[in-house]
Amino acid sequence: MKMRAAVLEEFGEPLVIQELDLADPGPGEVLVRLVACGVCHTDLYTASGVDPSGYSPTVLGHEGAGVVEAVGEGVTDVAPGDHVVTLFSPQCRECVHCLDPRTNLCLAIREQQNLGYLPDGTARLSRDGEPIRHFMGTSTFAEYTVMPQIALAKVHPEAALEAACLFACGLSTGLGAAMFTAKVQPGSTCVVFGAGMVGLGAVAGCRLQGAERIICVDLSEDRLELATGQGATDVWVGGEGTVEKVLEETGGFGADYTFEATGNVNVMRQAVESARMGWGLATVAGVAGKGETLDVIPRFLITGRRIAGSSFGGVKGRDGVPMLVDRYLAGDIDVDPFISHRITLDEVNKGFELMEAQDGIRSVIEFR
Ligand SMILES: NC(=O)c1ccc[n+]([C@@H]2O[C@H](COP(=O)([O-])OP(=O)(O)OC[C@H]3O[C@@H](n4cnc5c(N)ncnc54)[C@H](O)[C@@H]3O)[C@@H](O)[C@H]2O)c1
Ligand SMILES: [Zn+2]
Ligand SMILES: [Zn+2]
């Protein structure tokens, strides 16, 4: 079939919206009509050419939500008409990681996905017979996509897909960091560094876990106001003295849980040093630049602090995303404040500009 998509042709250049060919779904694959897609930092990171593993031409986009149009042979978990959220982090339910509750890092299709292909090592996207690679196994800056069924989360049909798409990446990452990676205990004191999509999600996750005190630290007053809306009890403008301030406010001990959602290694260090002596857990969600390292004084670890990393919030996508979307439907998670701009596919480059200007939290592409 023919469909329109935003193609990364040259790194550092605007995406080019054009017509592409999309082949039918193969065995185990699903054709999805996109209804909404968030524009995320990872898309911009790849488009800019900074990501050393990036490739082109490719169709970017990974925060998608849509409706199943057709299924390939052997697909049993979704059917035409189902509402789905795309998963760059799949869940095959069979590999050694999927069978273990300690991780969400499914091993099933990693290699081909990283190369830009579907699990059988080929692409469904093409232009004049030339294959175009799939980005993050999703390629959702497009009217349609073909994806393996193990990378689609079937969500409640009443959930607005403009909101559901945010659960495809940043929001689930933040919520999950608090709920699944750290497993915040009721009555805790938490510090969240960063109030972008991920940090705000972590604030909401701490609230859902019953944390008593949730301190959110950011450089932007506007973003801190959003943090208050998500349940932060204290909002601070960050900087050099933040660790000392956390210690002062916690009787000299530090916070039970800290979360880093900035991608800055100095802030990661602050998150470790603000965690409580004895049992404090620092959860790192931010992605640092290539080659950067996190400096930790070993004494902080000997005295009982721990550090955890969190990819996609530890969420096993096909189980966890529908559950989080249900909590949104139940009124537990306020998603609307995250949708700052609604744009069309043709305006996707404007979505990047808004992000670079830190204007709002998310631009969401609406397909019609
Ligand atoms: N682990 C994962 O699976 C995963 C998924 C999505 C995003 N990420 C990463 O998470 C990080 C956050 O993503 P986002 O979309 O929320 O980004 P964002 O840029 O929207 O938010 C980052 C926030 O950090 C704040 N910040 C910067 N320096 C700070 C400082 N010194 N102290 C306090 N706050 C500071 C900024 O003001 C900004 O509000 C990024 O590194 C992103 O790549 C990770
Ligand atoms: Zn993302
Ligand atoms: Zn798996």
3-state secondary structure 98-147: CCCCCCCCCCCCHHHHHHCCCCCCCCCEEECCEECEECCCCCCCECEEEE
Q: Judging by beta carbons within 10 Å of its beta carbon (0-12, 13-18, 19+), is residue 73 exposed, middle or buried?
A: exposed
Number of H helices, E strands in the chain: 11, 19
State the CB neighbour count (10 A cutoff) for residue 363.
Answer: 23
Residues whose CB falls within 8 Å of the CB of residue 324, separated by 6 or more in sequence, listed in order: 167, 171, 172, 175, 176, 315, 333
- pLDDT for position 220: 95
What token pair was written down for 240? 């050099």
Q: Where are the beta strands (DSSP E) in 199-336?
A: 213-218, 234-237, 257-260, 281-284, 306-309
Q: Provide the pLDDT for residue 84.
A: 98
CB of residue 269 inside a 6 A radius of ligand 1: no
- pLDDT confidence of residue 53: 85
Residue minimizing CA distance to atom 9 of ligand 1: 286
Whose tokens are 């050419």? That residue is 49
Whether 285 is in the pocket of ligand 1, judged by its Cβ within 6 Å, is yes
Answer for the pair 42, 62: CB distance below 8 angstroms, yes or no. Answer: yes
Beta-carbon-side half-sphere exposure of residue 329 (alpha carbons within 13 Å): 14
Which residues are within 8 A (CB) of 160 and not within 5 positions of it... i.e. 6 or more apart? Answer: none
Please give the Cα distance from 220 to 68 (Å, whole number): 39
pLDDT of res. 289: 85
Residue written as token pair 């082109």: 56
What residue's CA is closest to ligand 1, atom 15?
197
d(CA 82, CA 66): 8
What's the pTM? 0.96
165 tagged catalytic: no
Q: Is 92 among the residues known to form the active site?
A: yes
Cβ of residue 119 lying under 6 Å from some atom of ligand 1: no
Q: Does the annotation count 190 as an active-site position?
A: no
User: Can 95 be counted among the known catalytic residues?
Assistant: yes
Quick one: which atom of ligand 1 is closest to the CA of 45? Answer: 43
**What residue owns the CA closest to ligand 1's atom 13?**
198
| Cα–Cα distance for residue pair 114/281, rounded to 1 Å | 31
Question: CA torsion sign, 161 to 166 to 172 to 175?
Answer: negative
Q: Give the count of alpha carbons within 13 A of 187, CB side only.
A: 0
Burial class (CB in 10 A: 0-12, 13-18, 19+), 77: middle
Q: Is 88 in the pocket of ligand 1 (CB under 6 A)?
A: no
Q: Is the CB of 218 under 6 A from ligand 1?
A: yes
Catalytic residue among 29, 58, 140, 169: 169
Let me know: does 118 contact 124? Beta carbons within 8 Å.
Answer: yes
CA atoms within a 13 Å half-sphere pointing along the CA-CB vector of 194: 28
CA atoms within 13 A on the CB side of 147: 37
Asked if residue 19 lies in contact with residue 4, where contact means CB atoms within 8 angstroms, the answer is: yes
Distance of CA 198 from the midpoint of ligand 2 (Å)? 9
**Vertex 297, ends 291 and 300: CA angle to 5°?**
130
Q: Which residues pair with 307 in a beta bridge?
A: 282
Give the ligand 1 atom nearest the CA of 199: 16
Q: Is 124 a catalytic residue?
A: no
| Dihedral pair phi/psi, residue 232, rounded to 5° | -65, 135
Cis check for the bond before 186: say yes or no (omega within 30 of 0): no
Token pair belonging to 121: 């090592």
Compute, in angstroms, the gap from residue 220 CA to the centroid of ligand 2: 21
Q: Is 264 in the pocket of ligand 1 (CB under 6 A)?
A: yes
Hey, which of 39, 40, 41 would you mutate to test ligand 1's pocket, going by the most ligand atoms within 8 Å of its Cβ?
Answer: 41
List the pLDDT tens digit at each of the 368 positions of the chain. 999 999 999 999 999 999 999 999 999 999 999 999 999 999 999 999 888 888 999 999 999 999 999 999 999 999 999 999 999 999 999 999 999 999 999 999 989 999 999 999 999 999 999 999 999 999 999 999 999 999 999 999 999 999 999 999 999 999 999 999 999 999 999 999 999 999 999 999 999 999 999 999 999 999 999 999 999 999 999 999 999 999 999 999 999 999 999 999 999 999 999 999 999 999 999 999 888 999 999 999 999 999 999 999 999 999 999 999 999 999 999 999 999 999 999 999 999 999 999 999 999 999 97
First to last CA, the chain: 17
Neighbour count for residue 32 (Cβ, 10 Å): 30
Report how far ligand 2's centroid is from the alpha carbon of 11 (Å): 18
pLDDT value for 50: 86
Q: What integer pLDDT is reported at residue 340 of this predicted model? A: 95
Kindly state if the Cβ of 307 falls inside 6 Å of ligand 1. no
pLDDT of residue 51: 84
